[in-house]
């Protein structure tokens, strides 16, 4: 396989993660990923207050076909689990429809599961007809006996709840991706379940946040993304990190 991007221990592959993961040449210390949630409503756009613009709620191609997307993510998470080292953990930010099936799959494989919650300081618009703005997202955490777990003392997590603002149009650091995650909710997962020099896998790399976090934390990373425009976006973010580092040294 030819990488789309490769530099300083970070690799991006362009393609379907279900095709690429079985061919990866190594096992990884953690999977940290953010697959499509199977919550899109075809053609839906939320129109905000005057001057606040609008937000598309039809996020990704095929995401409104809920049964197919759920099956796709289940298959991908099964393949990702197979790439984990014996002490490796898996974190997946997922939609509510995916939680039950993925918990069942991962616990059948012998892993234990818990959930984490991201509480948004600025809730996203309500899905059409629901009436409830989206102020929280769920993360499934799956781990084996003998997992790597590095936080101790003051670094130990206080709870399974993260509070962080979601990206809005025009904010510093916002890129052209509809569901970009803040680094604040990815960094603790990477650093809690890996050590410097370990490799993190993100099968749904999107805008590359997991890769950027892993690099900053002294980890290697492999990202896989099916949309070439997002591969390019992630590669650009990583290249900017390199340029900023070099500017700081001069």
Per-residue pLDDT at 178: 65
Q: Minimum mean pLDDT among 74-88, 109-123, 171-185, 197-211: which range?
A: 171-185
Are 202 and 226 spatial neighbours (Cβ–Cβ below 8 Å)? no
The arithmetic mean of pLDDT across residues 196-200, rounded, is 98
What DSSP designation does 167 have?
P
pLDDT, mean of residues 71-85: 96
User: Please, what is the average pLDDT of the chain?
Assistant: 84
Domain range enclosing 71: 5-249
Number of domains into which the chain is organized = 1
Cα 167 to Cα 122: distance, rounded to the nearest angstrom: 9
- Give the pLDDT confidence score for residue 138 in this predicted structure: 95
pLDDT score recorded for residue 244: 44
- How many CB atoms lie under 10 A from the CB of residue 117? 14
Residue with the bigger pLDDT between 59 and 136: it is 136
CA 193 to chain centre: 15
* pTM, to two decimals: 0.85
Integer distance in angstroms from the first to the last C-alpha of the chain? 36
Determine the pLDDT at residue 141: 98
DSSP 118: E
How far is residue 90's CA from residue 107's CA, in Å, rounded to a whole number? 12
How would you class 210 by CB atoms within 10 Å of its CB: exposed for 0-12, middle for 13-18, buried for 19 or more?
buried
pLDDT in tens, 25-45: 889 999 999 998 765 455 444
- In this prediction, residue 176 carries a pLDDT of 56
Model confidence at 66: pLDDT above 60: yes
Check if the beta carbon of residue 145 is closer than 8 Å to that of residue 116.
no
Q: How far is CA 246 from CA 11, 240, 242, in A?
A: 20, 10, 6
What is the share, in percent, of the chain residues with pLDDT greater than 70?
Answer: 77
Phi-psi region for residue 176, left (φ > 0), alpha (ψ -120 to 50) or beta? beta
Nearest to 193 by CA among 94, 87, 115, 70: 87
CA-wise closest residue to 11 among 149, 166, 201, 161 = 201
What is the per-residue pLDDT for 46?
A: 42
Distance between CA 185 and CA 157 in Å, rounded? 12
CATH number (domain holding residue 149): 3.40.50.150
Six token digits for residue 19: 């095709």
Could you tell me how many residues make up the chain?
250
């Amino acid at each position: 396989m030819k990488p789309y991007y490769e530099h300083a221990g970070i690799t991006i592959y362009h393609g379907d993660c279900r095709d690429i993961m079985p061919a990866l040449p190594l096992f990884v210390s953690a999977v940290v990923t953010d697959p499509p949630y199977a919550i899109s409503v075809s053609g839906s756009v939320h129109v905000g207050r005057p001057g606040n613009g609008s937000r598309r709620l039809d996020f990704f191609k095929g995401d409104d076909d809920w049964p197919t997307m759920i099956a796709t993510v289940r298959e991908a998470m099964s393949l990702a689990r197979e790439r984990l080292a014996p002490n490796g953990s898996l974190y997946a930010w997922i939609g509510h429809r995916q939680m039950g099936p993925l918990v069942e799959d991962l616990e059948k494989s012998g892993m234990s599961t818990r959930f984490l919650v991201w509480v948004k300081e600025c809730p996203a618009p309500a899905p059409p007809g629901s009436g409830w703005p989206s102020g929280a997202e769920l993360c499934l955490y799956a781990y084996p006996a003998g997992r790597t777990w590095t936080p101790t003392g003051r670094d130990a997590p206080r709870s399974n709840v993260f509070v962080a603002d979601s990206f809005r149009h025009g904010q510093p650091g916002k890129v052209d991706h509809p569901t970009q995650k803040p680094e604040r909710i990815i960094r603790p997962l990477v650093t809690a379940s890996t050590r410097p020099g370990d490799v993190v896998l993100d099968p749904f790399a999107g805008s590359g946040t997991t890769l950027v976090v892993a690099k900053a934390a002294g980890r290697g990373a492999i990202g896989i993304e099916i949309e070439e425009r997002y591969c390019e976006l992630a590669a650009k973010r990583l290249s900017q990190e390199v340029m900023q580092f070099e500017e700081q040294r001069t």
